[in-house]
Structure 1
Amino acid sequence: MLACVAAAATWVCAALAQQGAVAERLPRGRLVAAKFAGGAANHLLSAGVGAAVVNLRFLTRCGLSTPRAATALAVKAYVGGMVRCALGAALLVASPCTVHLSARAPHLLVLLPVAAGTAVLAAAISGRLGQLVARALANVRDVRDVHRHRARACALWGGSVAFVLLHAGVIVAVVHAIGLGLPASRVAMACLVACGAAVLLPTPGGLGSLDAALGLALAAAGAPGAAAVSAVLGYRLLTGWLPMAPGLLVLALPARRSAS
């Protein structure tokens, strides 16, 4: 039950963070619905493209220009990546027993350079390094503008932190439900590492990449193989598979309204 509540609250937190990245007031219900539908769209397209398209369409229909909507999404993604890295580093510092000393280097290698490595890889593939640098500088200016308004900064950072913690809370609750005696800090670290590693191999909805990374991280944290697989299945059931059908229905509503 606790895992279900935490999974449902992740969409509210994602909506709160998105509101913080935008100066205009967005309709709350439609914003949460867009995040919910974006999660379903992510299972159709790889590398988060589905959610990006859905959220970009939503923001432009709310009156934002396409460049401003894209920048708002980039700012939210940038802050989300920073939050994951900061929480992972803080967890290692605050709880030295979270992982063994011999395993800390791989964890740090995944948590800290994942954002930079992904950006460099994307630049090398696209061949548009100059444009990416210009957009990054624009994102920095927009982040600076967000922090001039305390309410927006609190919504952006608070929503991003709560989103990451709730996702970790889902897997912690699932692990507890199946009777594994792993410490919550170790399970949370496994979740952060798995999410960071899955970014390096983008697939629709993290299918395969996130599953394998989370299973291996839980096994490295001390879970037996069968129990780790059960925990991954429970986590994916609550955060991806069960919400997919209603998310696709919500995703179809704007298309039907546009066609009518």
Structure 2
Amino acid sequence: MTFQRVSVAAIRKGTHWQTALTLAVLVAAGWLARRHWPVLEAGALRLAVADQGWLLTGATAACGTWLCAALALQGAVVRRLPQGRLVAAQFAASAANQVLPAGLGAGAVNLRFLMRCGLSAGRAATAVGVRATAGGVARGALIAVLAAACPGILRVPHDGGGWAVAALAAVGAGLLLAGRRWPRGRRAVAAVAADVRAVHARPRRAAALWGGSVTFAALHACVLIAVTRAVALPLPPVRVALLYLAASSAAALLPTPGGLGSLDAALAFALAAAGAPAEGAASAVLGYRLLTVWLPLLPGLLVLGLLVRRKAL
């Protein structure tokens, strides 16, 4: 009982800090929006007269992201999942992700869905973690490939790599030390490793996991590319894709719901730094948000409520 009370207290404390940080980011985003309101207004007017064909292409790519998310989650578990409910759960998860910070909404929906499909809580959490890790690795691989294709766009400080390696080494050392001193931690790591090996022992599951993860990130980049084409931004598609992947990875460090504020600012800054006019960058960000968040939000919440009512979540 004492351990449970301590764990609950620690979770509540972490949630409070995360909520405070989220509110701080949202307040800062609101202040920036008010300060640059003329630019945002001009961007909205430019989006209103954008090319409808390109916007439809971006909407199609946005719909494809839910299929890719479903494919990646299926690849993270050995058991076959019901396809219709799996896709519906990813649509609902994308909506839930807009109201909770740092991807907690999507993680909670997927965790509950997998448990309803018969997986234990531990295996469901492992699958969600494996899918998230694969998504991060896939995003990093795409950034590396596109950065090689477009040299000079992303500039990292000379000492930045050393600090990154040192941080990763410190985290790895801490995990190893915890595993040695905490038997329960060793068992948990062994269980996770066993599940990962079981997934990769099946070529179809491994292909679904990694293929879905790579395509998910690529389709989000395609949405932004389509919007930049719709508002006639003079930026090459490969450069736009690289800027999106880098900006979204940086925005993920701030736990706002759906990257609200952090992703918008990072995307606008990246596009403007690449040579886009301020109004055009604002139009591209607004269009990307329209297709990936605002239009699907209400239908996604309705699907979420329906899944809960039917006890699929």
Give per-residue Cα distances to partners, 1:80-109, cap 9 Å, x unaligned. Answer: 100111110111113325x1xxx4216x96
1:104 aligns with 2:159: no
Equivalent residue runs for 1:36-185 within 5 Å? 36-96=91-151, 99=153, 103-105=154-156, 138-185=191-238
Specify the SS of the correspondent of 1:247: helix
Which letter maps to 1:251?
L
Q: 1:240 aligns with which of 273, 288, 293?
A: 293
Unpaired stretches in structure 1, ≥5 consecutive residues: none
Identity of aligned residues (%): 59
Change (3 A) 1:199 1:28: same
2: CA distance, partners of 1:138 / 1:220:
45
Q: Cα 1:168–1:135, aligned 2, differ >3 Å: closer, same or farther?
A: farther
Structure 1 199/113 Cα, relative in aligned 2: closer, same or farther at 3 Å?
farther
Q: Deviations over 1:102-161 (max 9, x none)?
A: x4216x969x959x77x95xx9xxx99968887566544433332211101110111111
CA distance in 2, matches of 1:160, 1:40: 19
- Aligned amino acid, residue 242 of structure 1: L
CA deviation after TM superposition for structure 1 residue 17, in Å? 0.6
More relative contact order, 1 or 2 (CA 8 Å, 6+ apart): 2
- Note if contact 1:46-1:204 (Cα within 8 Å) is conserved in structure 2: yes
**Aligned match of 2:76:** 21
Give the distance between the partners of 1:155 and 1:50, measured in 2 at CA: 23
CA shift, 1:176, in A, is 0.7
Q: How many residues align?
A: 246
Contact 1:14 1:163 in 2 (8 A): yes
Cα distance, 1:59–1:105 mapped onto 2, change above 3 Å: same
Question: Equivalents in 2 of 1:177, 1:133: separation in Å?
Answer: 52
- Give the aligned partner of residue 41 of structure 2: none
Equivalent-residue separation in structure 2 for 1:228 and 1:140 (angstroms) = 43
Amino acid paired to 1:255: V
What is the letter of the counterpart of residue 95 of structure 2? A
Deviations 1:158-178 (A, max 9, x none): 111110110000000100110
Distance 2:213 2:266 in 1: 22
Structure 1 residues 26 and 195: alpha-carbon distance in aligned structure 2, compared to 1, 3 A threshold: same
- Following superposition, the deviation at residue 46 of structure 1 comes to 0.5
* Corresponding residue to 2:266 among 185, 203, 213: 213
- When Rg is computed on C-alpha atoms for both structures, the one with the higher figure is 2
Preserved CA contact (<8 Å) 1:74 1:139: no
Question: 1:224 Cα deviation (Å)?
Answer: 1.1
Mapped to 2, the partners of 1:77 and 1:141 lie a distance apart of 17
From 234, 247, 256, the equivalent of 1:203 is 256
CA RMSD of aligned residues (A): 2.8
Q: Please say if residues 198 and 209 of structure 1, whose CA atoms lie closer than 8 Å, have aligned partners that are also in contact.
A: yes
SS state at 1:105 partner: coil
- Displacement of 1:257 after TM fit? 3.1
TM-score with structure 2 length normalisation? Answer: 0.72
Q: Distance in 1 between matches of 2:192 and 2:252?
A: 20
TM-score, L = length of structure 1: 0.86
2:10 aligned residue: none
CA offset at residue 241 of structure 1? 0.8
Aligned partners of 2:78 and 2:198 also within 8 Å? no
Q: What does the per-residue CA deviation read over 1:201-254, in whole Å, with 9 as the maximum and x for residues that have no partner?
A: 110111101111111111122111111111000000100110000000001013
Partners of 2:189 and 2:150 in 1: CA distance: 33
2:29 aligns to what? none
Unaligned runs of 5+ in 2: 1-55
Distance of aligned partners of 1:213 and 1:134 in 2 relative to their CA distance in 1, 3 Å threshold: farther
Give the Cα–Cα distance (whole angstroms) in 2 for the partners of residues 20 and 69 of structure 1: 13
Seen in structure 2, the aligned counterparts of structure 1 residues 235 and 255 have a Cα distance that, compared at 3 Å, is: same
Contact 1:190/1:217 (8 A) holds in 2 = yes
Which residue number in structure 2 is paired with residue 30 of structure 1? 85
How many Å apart are 1:256 and its aligned residue? 2.5
